Structure 1
Amino acid sequence: MLHPLLRSLAAATTLAGTATLAFAQPQLDLPRVPITAGMYRIDAQVAATPQQRQTGLMFRENLPQQEGMLFVFEEPAVQCFWMKNTLVPLTAAFVADDGRIVNLADMQPQTTDSHCSEAPVRYVLEMNQGWFAKKGLRKGAKLAGAPFAAGR
């Protein structure tokens, strides 16, 4: 029979392990919003809460080509991203309130290198690495959709 203190510790360890496993799941059920970039349509999951933004695209084994994740912050600030626990190479578009891409950053999987916006932004759109380049979209290009309507 386990001592009560050891039993409590074992239960806490089991719960912590369960919480870690639950956390190690990709977010697949976030709300979605359509975004356009010229003639291209993006189906973007929206990460709007601190927990959703923290998890982001972690633990995904793939990302369909026309899908991405839009990170929405309460107010514009210099935003920095890294790729810990992210398995897919991504490009981050740091986006101003009016939908203008401020800068782009290619990010390698499972790294803690910091990639930051060149100016304060409220939005960051992550897509498969190279998606923006293949579409000819670069700094200064405009994205359109409901999130950017208020900034115009």
Structure 2
Amino acid sequence: MSDGWTLRPATPADFAAWGALRARLWDDSADIVAEHDDMRTAIDPARPATTFLAVDHDGRPFGFIEVAIRHDYVNGSESSPVGFIEGWYVEDGWQGRGIGRALVDAAAAWTRARGRDELCSDAMLDADESHAAHRACGFEETERVVYFRKPVTG
């Protein structure tokens, strides 16, 4: 696309590099087998979901966006189903070059091509950098939610 990088769809051959990026985003040390199952689901052509990777001139992934069509209620949406960003990450050294915006634009185009009018996302309440990145890409904040949990066993 620009300055030594491009976007392309993810494939199973990308699982190791893509999985490492996912682990950085979610600060996760998840079971690698479960992780690969999640990635297979995220690119399964039978599902309404896809993943785009940002890759350098050598083909090394340094960013990704996972997008799916969600049929359940999505907080702040005005329609259903909607496109939903399940994960979005760009390595620090590549940030500030329009790559995050290009990934969002690819997710938006994919969502539009499936007849949907909205692309939604979420972020943790204290993720100020994520909030700023969303706003910079044209998202508007719709609401803030705090979830609660109460165990009822034992």
- Per chain length, whose mean CA-contact separation is higher, i.e. which structure has more relative contact order (CA < 8 Å, sep 6+)? 1
Q: Verify same fold: TM over 0.5.
A: no
Return the TM-score normalized by structure 2: 0.25
- Structure whose residues are more often helix by fraction: 2
Query: Based on CA coordinates, which of the two structures has the bigger radius of gyration?
Result: 1
